Structures are given as structure tokens and as C-alpha cells.
Homo-oligomer: A and B are copies of this chain.
Amino acid sequence: MQPNTFGNLLSLTTFGESHGPAMGAVIDGFPAGVPVDVERDLQPHLDRRRPGQSKITTSRSEADQAQILSGVFEGKTIGSPIAVLVWNKDARSSDYDPNYYRAGHADRTWEEKFGHRDYRGGGRASGRETLCRVIGGSFARLLLPDEVSIVAFTRSIGEFEARDLPERLTINDVDRHPTRCPDLEVASRITETLERCRDEGDSRGGVVEIWIDGLPAGLGDPVFMKMKNRLASAFMSIGAVVGTGLGDAPQASKARGADFHTGVAGSGPHAGISPAACGIQGGITNGQRITMRVYFKPASTTGSMAKKGRHDPCIVPRAVPVVEAMAALVLADHFLSRRLDRP
């Protein structure tokens, strides 16, 4: 029973409550001799997830400065577990009432399960928990070949969906706008909506899309640890996520097979590869881009409580680096696993 541990060969164990003293991450199974620099490798990802980045996010203000406690020596990993702490600073516990169950939140269900819980700001069920995932993902990225690119972005928020997308995107491209929507016209309409949500105590959900490029064919472990179900589990473990799929899964479920399966069978070098597979066939990468969508429900805090300003009217923009981090963890695990495939 390690419900707070993610991963197989590379494992991330997280701890910490939103209003406790600190959040922490312990990474085990990380190879020795990998150069690590907090300012270069970790902090930028944490900063992308940090609250208070723009007027469409929560006003909780946290520096979220990472401190490495073990596993790194003289600037390189040493093969022992890497522990990273982030202290909680701007925690206003008095805002919370132990006998009040917020609708749509984890308050009620955690109470039912555990009987006793930290009711302050969601405790362990707070979105703040995701910063530990970003720490883990930052380390995981260090294990990926240079040619691998993991970029997530806001595909849609509420009814507004990005349409005009380039063929490739970088993190910089995505971060150009606070909504993390790369279709700038759509982005500005999203901003308007979210500002109005904030004033009115309303909220929105949306879709984060992730593109993973540069992968070799042959990553993924059948039968129950396929690339697709491990990514799905990774994404669905994030707070407000309600669904996920390869490409546009509902659309795929309606397609005609004869139209959908455009790949060529046979024995040539590309035979058997199907473009519609979104990068994964039989649970294993086919060398093409993995495209997945992650569906978020509207943020649960609405009404008068939402107007106080310490909640995001939409968590999708800040979830973008979290989705990337989870993908990085799964990928790094599969890159390690790949070393075990043959004699």
C-alpha cells in the first residue's frame, strides 16, 4: 500500500498537506552520476506551476523554492533517494471550518474514508500536492534523450477551443500567453471569460493536450503497463481530471474502420504503422508523436468563496506543467524499462 508512490523503476513518493509545514518528494531508482542544478532543472518548472502568476490565477503567494535534502552530491546524483522539500509559507488556516464540507471537493469523501482529516485548504487533497509531481517530473526529464520533447498546452477552456495550431510547439511558445493557449485569438477570449468568472464566482474546466515527440518505437510494457494506460493513470490521478484519451477519442469511437486505419500493412520499413494510433499500438510506441487529451471539470470552488480570490477560476493553465510532469515520469520509467527488454 503505497498510494502516495508513483512509478515502477523510477518512483516518486510525495507527502505534505496544503497547510502543513512542507510539501516533499522522494525519488528513488534514479541513476547515479546525472548532473542536477536546482535553478536550471527544477525551479523553472516549479515557477510555471506556482500560484499568483497572473490575474487569472489564485492570489495565494508562494515562492515554492525547492531544497534538496539528499541524493545529490557535488552537483550530481549518487544513486540514493533524492529528497526535495518545499516549505509552505502563505497558508491561512483560519479560512477553513472543520464542519463545513465544500461541494465537489474531497472534503466529504476523505472524511468518510479516514474519519480524521486535515480540513485546512483540502489538506493532502489540495492542488498544492501537484508541486511534488512537478519536482518528480523535473528529475524525470533529466533521464530522457535530448530529442524527446514533451509539450502540453491549453487546447480549450470552457467552450473556447484552440484551432489554429502550428505543427510543433515549444514550452516557450505555450508560455507566451498566461492561458497557455497557443491560439492567441482564442486565448484572449478565454482571458475575458476567466476574468468574468472570477468576478462572478464562476469557474471553467477545459482540455490540456499533450504532444510527445522524438520517442523511439518500442517503449511500453504489455499487458497491464502499456504506455497508454500508464499515461492515462498518470493524468487521471491529477485532481480535477475527469477523462483522457489518445487524440480525440470520442471522435475515434465514431469513425469507420476503413477510413480510420490508414496505415499500410506488409513487410516494408513503415509497414504496420498507423497514423491514427496517436503514437501507440498494442500499448507500445510506434515512433510517431503521442497525442493525448486530458479533460478537466470546472474548478469546484464557486460562489462567494470563489470571490475571495485564493482560488483559480480555472486550473487548466497551471495544470499544463503538471500534465507534462506526469508524462515525463511515465516516459522516464519506460526508458529505464527498455534497458531490460533484451539479453
Contact = CB atoms under 8 A, between A and B. Distances in A.
A225 interface: yes
A265 B340 contact: no
A326 to B, nearest CB: 10
A51 interface: no
Interface stretch (A37-45, A170-178, A183-191, A247-255): A247-255
A95 interface: no
Contacts of A102: 265, 272
A162 interface: no
Contacts of A158: 254-256
A139 B323 CA distance: 34
B22 A1 contact: no
A182 interface: no
A224 B267 contact: no
Interface string A46-83: 00000000000000000000010111011011111111
B245 A284 contact: no
A316 B156 CA distance: 29
Given A80-B17, A110-B222, A204 B236 contact: no
Interface in A196-228: 197, 200-207, 216-226, 228
Interface size of A as a range: 35 or more
Contact of A32 (B34, B71, B249, B342): B342
Nearest to A252: B297
Given A1-B221, A24-B69, 18 more contacts: A2-B28, A3-B29, A9-B340, A15-B82, A17-B73, A29-B340, A32-B342, A34-B343, A73-B116, A73-B118, A80-B124, A107-B282, A223-B237, A243-B246, A243-B249, A244-B244, A244-B249, A252-B298
A33 to B, nearest CB: 5
A235 to B, nearest CB: 8
A230 interface: yes
A257 B80 contact: no
Nearest to A338: B113
A134 interface: no
A76 B119 CA distance: 13
Nearest to A97: B267
Interface string A84-122: 010000000000000111111111111011111110001
Contacts of A99: 267
Given A71-B15, A117-B78, A224-B3, A253 B207 contact: yes
